[in-house]
Amino acid sequence: MRQVFYRLGLTGYPLERSLSPEIHQAALRASGLQGEYQLYPAVPLPDGSAQLAEIIQRVRQGELHGLNVTIPHKQNVLEYLDELTPAAQAVEAVNTVYLQHERLLGDNTDIAGFWTDLMSAFPGVTGPALVLGAGGSARAVVFALLQQGWDVTVAARQQGKAEKLLQALNAPDTARTIRLEAAALARLQPVRLIVNATPAGMHPRAGESPWPVEANLPEGAAVYDLIYKPQETELMRQARRAGLQACNGLGMLVEQAALAFERWTGAPAERAAMWKAIPTSQR
């Protein structure tokens, strides 16, 4: 039987700093599979509409065996898909696309990827939690925490977006929203975990932090930043200066990638090999 040559890739924008190609190429090699993982940039809508549609069509036609989706298209791809997994349907955001039984399927491995790495980074951590941001990544984080019964507050510069996020997730009445500003953060009840799900701190905004400099970080809270490049974000530096534990999202990147790889190929992902493929300066 002829061996499958897996053509995999990532779409979103910007992509030039992504570690996904190295990670997935390592997974292919470790599993003894032939293939490649390429970057397929699609600029933000509306300018990127044709680009995004063409890339998704390549999956439908079988030219690509699997596609990851990142900022800003995790929700934009929904209209092109035939079916969503329960996880993707719950958060209305997709990071993994593939063809199954001639139907284009959208999945979300960010949810399990985040939770698995959170428990690894901060064993035994419990709520309440504060999630910064209200985009596709924030949806996955909030859903994961609510599934575990956590008390969650969502902070966004546009509070209405945070309210819509909770409504979309059918969040319990105990979940709440605030504006992402110093005054509102100062009134916040104590939290044990802060998760950054905004782009603040990521290239080209590497020097920024979503946390206002005039606001104190909650005592005793752990800080989890979904950003993994740069290795240490400004928010992480703020946290460490305040004596708090902080980690980046590199572990989540590897775990969600491993889960996507397993969806596409049916082969177990060698996580140790995927970690080893990451440059030492990025770990």
Residue 71 predicted with pLDDT over 90? no
pLDDT at 2: 64
Please, what is the Cα angle at 57 between 55 and 63, to 5 degrees?
A: 85
- Strand runs (DSSP E) across 182-259, as ranges? 193-196, 222-225, 246-247
Contact 79, 107 (CB under 8 A): no
**Model confidence over 111-130: pLDDT tens digits?**
999 999 999 999 999 999 99
Question: pTM for this one?
Answer: 0.91
CATH 3.40.50.10860 fits 5-109+253-282, yes or no: yes
Contact 231, 253 (CB under 8 A): no
Q: Where are the domains of the chain?
A: 5-109+253-282, 123-244
Instruction: Count Cβ atoms below 10 Å from residue 52 Cβ, excluding itself.
Output: 24
For residue 25, is it left (φ>0), alpha (ψ between -120 and 50) or beta? alpha
The amino acid at 141: V
Domain at 123-244: CATH architecture:
3-Layer(aba) Sandwich (3.40)
Is 123-244 the same fold as 5-109+253-282? yes
Residue 1 predicted with pLDDT over 60? no
Contact 107, 91 (CB under 8 A): no
Average pLDDT over residues 151-178: 95
Question: Which one from 74, 161, 164, 229 is the annotated catalytic residue?
Answer: 74
Is 74 part of the annotated catalytic residue set?
Answer: yes
Helix or strand or coil: residue 125? coil
